[in-house]
Structure 1
Amino acid sequence: MMNKFLYLLFFPVLVLGQTSFDEIEPLFHKKEFKKAETIVAKYLETDPNNLKAIELLGDAYGHQEKWDDAINNYKKLVEADNNNANYHYKYAGALGMKALQNKFKAIGFIGDVKNHFIKAAELDPKHMDARWALVELYMQLPGVFGGSKTKSLHYAQELENLSKVDGYLAKGYIYEYDNQPELAEKYYKMAINEGGSLVCFNKLTNFYESKNEPQKAIKNIEEAQDKHPRNALHYQIGKVSAEYNVELQKGEQCLHMYLKNYSAEDGVPKAWAHYRLAQINMHKNNKEEALKYINLAIAELPKIKPFKEQKEKILNL
């Protein structure tokens, strides 16, 4: 439930000024969280009440999914400054992640998670992340534990008052979760018309895929490509084509284009493009080409289970 908040929860904004912390920001950017933890913990030995250092240590723990340690640090912050919205937000987020690890104990955390997210939203009328968290929390909680579509829509409206795009995306999420696809599609399209970012397009693409509408998904990706000429979108088209066995020629062409123009910035390793080409060629009953591409995928990433499973399917053609 909370995974997408990891970056927002735990990536620090460094405004400390102390030279002792000059090296921390690059460590977070390089994902060297253990090293950051060691440096900040050492600093706290000499200045144990430094709130920014306590927050940074909590962030380092959070990135490593050491939820108990993160919770302890964020609790110190809330106790030290009960009127800081971000402290409540981070504390609630860490509690939520802890709850996800042990669903048998999650019931005991839910009240605190909800209360601290609400407190963050009350303290900061413009805290969008807290409102997003409440939108998801109220939709996903069973009614007996306080789940409420009405309350979720309330925070979605608050988001819309702050940012129309976020409000539309939140309402799209709510209606998708509530199995009202026409309204979900409507609000996702409104978000695209209002903002037009790749995030907006991706939300609608994922929605179409979840509803088993690959043709609409491909059309939406192509519209995204018109506004955002990204090589990664070639892979997305190929992926949908391969997974749903539609527009195979277009999917194959897009995957070859992706491989031709590939760079590390595209995100998805070339092995996955080869895997999708193997899928497409399997759909076309072209066993030799399918084997060629799946062998390339396995050679590049030999430990990926779906690649090995796909090869077995191809060999059984």
Structure 2
Amino acid sequence: MLRTTIGLTLILASSAIATEAIDALHLKQYDKAKTLLLQQPDSLDKLFYLGQIAYFEKDLDKAEQYFQQVVDNDNANAEQHYWLAKVSLSQAANASIFSAPGYARTAKQHFEESLHINPKHQGSLKGLIRFYLHVPGIAGGSVDKAEQYARRLQNVDQIEGSMALLNIYEHDDNEQALTTTLAHTLQQHPNNARVLTKAGFIYQQRQDYRLAFDYFSQASAQYNQSQESSYALSALYQLGKTAVLSGQNLSAGQQALQSYLKQPESPVTSDLSIELPSAAWAHYRLAQVLALTDQTHRAQAHLRQSKLRNSDDKALEKRLKQEAKKLNISL
């Protein structure tokens, strides 16, 4: 096999089928992407994209094989080391207590190698933040080191770094640092849907539903006004959830969920860190809002819609049964 991707990228780039395959991958149409890629000549790029598909399909061992082949033949590519590290970190999370440390060390090694090649690689900076934050101290975990990498990330992307710091302070239960950093970030980015949504989540967790609703409202208003549309949609859903949790702003919560259900169910987002709630969850939340306003018949209809749209989500299935029992209705 060749030891460089020079020329190999051109093989894929010059192929309409390959372009279609990559587009399908970005749209999460993994079967289609895989079928199209397998029609392409052998190349490191082909292995690289097949590795991504295997990762997203949670076939971590196969993903590791693909990415290891790529790195073995091209050791100077930051993105390839990043993906191999990402797979190893996922393997660590799913491994036994005996195997997990080895996977974690491999992940750390490749994240560091990625940053050695490209010190501004955001994915690897985030990866090392996750490593130091979630790995036990006895295995090398360190909140201080996680914070150091978050500040490095701030120098590359201010919002990404600030979000990382907020996550670290939440994880460490450092309320003072969390409040101070949030206030500073909101001051710097008052109209950013991602920052506003994060503020909403923080206050929702604190059960300060008035402020949570206010920040989610501001975030949802940014839909179609910024590149952070996925966060604005998330905030729209959270308006409904906050209305349920607080028992307040029920009319606004109902309208927000109805608007959410009118949007595409799986909007395309370049940020893989955000996963929007499904239509099944939105129907369930809307049913809860309607039940709180004594619209039991309409609530029943949305519970049935939620059940119909649900696919193997055991947590939602349990919630639906509980809500139906509380309302004394059948599904």
TM-score bracket for the superposition, by shorter chain length: 0.7 to 0.9
Which residue of the partner structure matches residue 70 of structure 1? 63
CA–CA distance in structure 1, aligned partners of residues 221 and 52 of structure 2? 38
Write the distance in 2 (CA, Å) between the matches of 1:271 and 1:73: 35
Q: What residue in structure 1 maps to residue 219 of structure 2?
A: 224
User: Deviations 1:255-278 (Å, cap 9, x if unpaired)?
Assistant: 135426852337656654553344
Separation in 2 of the partners of 1:120 and 1:114? 10
The answer (yes or no) to whether the contact 1:245–1:283 under 8 Å persists in 2 is: no
Output aligned runs, 1:87-166, within 5 Å: 87-104=80-97, 105-166=99-160
Distance 1:241 1:34, change over 3 A: same
In the alignment, is the contact (CA less than 8 A) between 2:261 and 2:282 conserved in 1?
A: no
Out of 197, 200, 219, the residue aligned to residue 202 of structure 1 is: 197
| Residue number in structure 1 paired with 2:5 | none
Question: Which residue identity is paired with 1:279?
Answer: Q
**In the alignment, what sits opposite 1:3?**
none
- Normalised to the residue count of structure 2, the TM-score between the two structures is 0.78
Q: Which residue of 1 is the match for residue 324 of structure 2?
A: 311
Q: Which moved more, 1:219-228 or 1:70-79?
A: 219-228
- Bigger fraction of residues in helix: 1
Residues 103 and 17 of structure 1: is their aligned pair in 2 closer, same or farther, counting only changes over 3 Å? same
SS at structure 2 position matched to 1:147? coil
TM norm structure 1? 0.81
CA RMSD, 1 decimal: 2.7
Q: Residue type of the partner of 1:221?
A: F
Match of 1:239 in 2: 241
Unaligned runs of 5+ in 2: 1-8, 225-231, 267-276, 311-315
Assess if the C-alpha contact under 8 Å between 2:283 and 2:305 holds in 1: no
Q: Distance in 2 between matches of 1:63 and 1:255?
A: 33
* 1:24–1:276 CA distance, 2 compared to 1 (3 A): closer
Evaluate the alpha carbon distance shift between residue 76 and residue 156 of structure 1 in structure 2; reply closer, same or farther with a 3 A threshold: same
With 30-39 and 76-85 compared, the bigger mean Cα shift is at 30-39
Matches of 2:138 and 2:278, distance apart in 1: 44
Task: Find the partner of 1:176 among 170, 173, 188.
Answer: 170
Cα contact 2:64–2:84 (8 A) shared by 1 = yes
Query: What is residue 276 of structure 1 aligned with on the other side?
Result: 285
Q: Which runs of 5+ in 1 are unaligned?
A: 1-13
Identity %: 23
For residues 167 and 39 of structure 1, the distance between their equivalents in structure 2, rounded to whole angstroms, comes to 37
Pair 1:226–1:22, CA change in 2 (3 A): closer
Other structure's SS at 2:264 match: helix
Q: Which amino acid aligns with 2:246?
A: N
Q: Partner residue of 1:296?
A: 302
Question: Is the Cα contact below 8 Å between 1:192 and 1:200 reproduced in 2?
Answer: yes
What is the letter of the counterpart of residue 295 of structure 1?
Answer: A
Once residues 290 and 260 of structure 2 are traced to their aligned partners in structure 1, the CA distance between those partners, rounded to angstroms, is 21
In structure 2, do the counterparts of structure 1 residues 57 and 262 end up closer, same or farther at CA, with 3 Å as the change threshold?
closer
Change (3 A) 1:281 1:27: closer
SS in 2 for 1:132: helix
SS at match of 2:201: helix
Equivalent-residue separation in structure 2 for 1:192 and 1:81 (angstroms): 42
1:74/1:90 contact within 8 Å kept: yes
Output the amino acid matched with 1:256.
Q
Residue of structure 1 equivalent to 2:14: 18
CA contact under 8 A between 1:121 and 1:130: conserved in structure 2?
yes
How many Å separate the matches in 2 of 1:37 and 1:175? 40
Aligned partners of 1:101 and 1:216: how far apart in 2?
A: 37
Secondary structure of the corresponding residue to residue 247 of structure 2: coil
CA drift of 1:112 comes to 0.5
Asked if the contact 1:214/1:246 (under 8 Å) is kept, the reply is no
Aligned match of 1:79: 72
Aligned length: 293
Alignment of 1:246-265 (within 5 A): 246-247=247-248, 250-256=249-255, 258-259=257-258, 262-265=261-264
Q: 1:103–1:282: structure 2 CA closer, same or farther, 3 Å change rule? A: farther
CA distance in 2, matches of 1:51, 1:30: 22
Rounded to whole Å, the distance in 2 between the matches of 1:173 and 1:101 is 22
Kept after mapping to 2: 8 A contact 1:239/1:251: no
